[in-house]
Structure 1
Amino acid sequence: MKPSSMIARLLNGLLLTMALAGAATAVEIEGVKLADSTTVGGKELKLNGAGVRTRVIFKVYVMGLYLPETKRASSEVLAAEGPRRFTLSMLRNVSGADLGEAFMAGLDKNSDQAERTRLAKQIAKFGEMFKSIETLKKGDVLTGDWLPGTGTVLQLNGKPLAEPLPDVAFYNAILKIWLGDKPADSSLKPALLGEKAS
């Protein structure tokens, strides 16, 4: 074998290895690694987008949004069928009461009165769930899954926080905290839609 063809083979092998390694690499934001994909309800979901939730000057959590297929508009995310997941990886300690208050404010800003009335029982259970958490600590991971036929399943570090909440409109109301017309963080919304890194 000629030295030049041997070098070419080595280079091709090296490039292939680098490409495969790049494909398997998780996204990393603020030291938090988010997998490129995850399985929810037996279906593989892909990371649609991820970013940091900042409040005033403080970085509160890294959020990832997983969907069956890529969506670039809020309306498409809300209309998506099949399982969905969001993850919040805490970057600082936050009391359950403070996080719950922020979530409730986001729900109020992005849902109309009729929707809030229709979902009142589920919203109340959602609020009570946060009262049961004393503190979300740095490194804790909160996940919110939509499982068709089951409902919204919320877990902290893999442990269920409450009974599933059955209405898909409720799951969408939660997503609108970040993806609605008045999002909690204006730079996080486009990051979740894959428009740019936050």
Structure 2
Amino acid sequence: MVSRLLALLLLVVASPLHAAEVAGVKFEDRVKAGSADLVLNGAGLRKRAFFQVYAMGLYLAEKKSAAADAIGLAGPKRIDIRMLRDVDAATFTEALSDGIRANHDEAAAKAFEPRVAQLGAIMNEVKEAKKGMAIALELQPGAGTVVSIDGRPRGQPIAGDDFGRALLRIWLGEKPVQDDLKRALLGQPQ
């Protein structure tokens, strides 16, 4: 009896914790960003018309339920995107660009264009964001945004803490790409 209880306890302790599951995608409770430990702030589903496009998790140093607090929080942040359908690189990049333009004035959006193009070049290397692909955008203060695809860093970090905040505003800004996804990423009731 004691050995069964001990075996069960070891199984529970050894199993990874999944804080959330969205459309069959499991998001870990904690991840590393460089040397920093981040916690899952929230996870949600990006839909377009009737299609499920991607599941997404937002990781921060500490949980925040207000968008401004999440965007302004000091330290690294991580956006994990798991593709639920195939999307070509140009469409994926254009959607990110549209989200940045929607949440910034014209001058600011124009200033981000070279860095959006850098992100687009990274995505063009893989040609397509395929179903099942894991895309991570790791925002490292002072170092830029590191893009990883299926766990492998791609290209050079995209410079500027302002660009990292601009990316976050796609989903958390005043005009988010999807209101219920914003609420989910902030851990708010749906």
The TM-score by the shorter chain falls in which range? 0.7 to 0.9
Q: Does 1:174 align with 2:162?
A: no
After TM superposition, the score normalised by the length of structure 2 is 0.87
SS in structure 2 opposite 1:119? helix
Counterparts in 2 of 1:131-142, with a 5 A limit?
131-142=124-135
SS in structure 1 opposite 2:178? coil
Counterparts in 2 of 1:4-43, with a 5 A limit?
25-26=17-18, 27-43=20-36
Q: Where does residue 41 of structure 2 map in the other structure?
A: 48
More displaced, 86-95 or 132-141?
132-141
Q: Where does residue 4 of structure 1 map in the other structure?
A: none
After TM superposition, the score normalised by the length of structure 1 is 0.84
Q: Which amino acid aligns with 1:62?
A: A
Q: Does 1:183 align with 2:176?
A: yes
Is contact 2:143–2:160 with CA below 8 Å preserved after alignment?
A: no
Is contact 1:153–1:165 with CA below 8 Å preserved after alignment?
A: yes
CA drift of 1:24 comes to 5.5
Q: Where does residue 119 of structure 2 map in the other structure?
A: 126
Is contact 2:133–2:150 with CA below 8 Å preserved after alignment?
A: yes
Higher fraction of strand: 2
Deviations 1:96-139 (A, max 9, x none): 11111111111111111232233332222123333333111111
Counterparts in 2 of 1:50-129, with a 5 A limit?
50-129=43-122
Give the whole-Å Cα distance in 1 for the aligned partners of 2:110 and 2:88. Answer: 27
More displaced, 26-35 or 110-119?
110-119
Aligned-residue identity in percent: 38
Equivalent pairs counted in the alignment come to: 183
Q: Which amino acid aligns with 2:171?
A: W
**How large is the RMSD of aligned CA atoms in angstroms?**
2.3
Residue segments in structure 1 that go unaligned for 5+ positions in a row: 1-12
More displaced, 24-33 or 62-71?
24-33
Q: Which has the larger radius of gyration?
A: 1
Give the whole-Å Cα distance in 2 for the aligned partners of 1:63 and 1:56. Answer: 17
Q: Which amino acid aligns with 1:75?
A: A
Give the whole-Å Cα distance in 2 for the aligned partners of 1:75 and 1:132. Answer: 33
Give the whole-Å Cα distance in 1 for the aligned partners of 2:133 and 2:152. Answer: 11
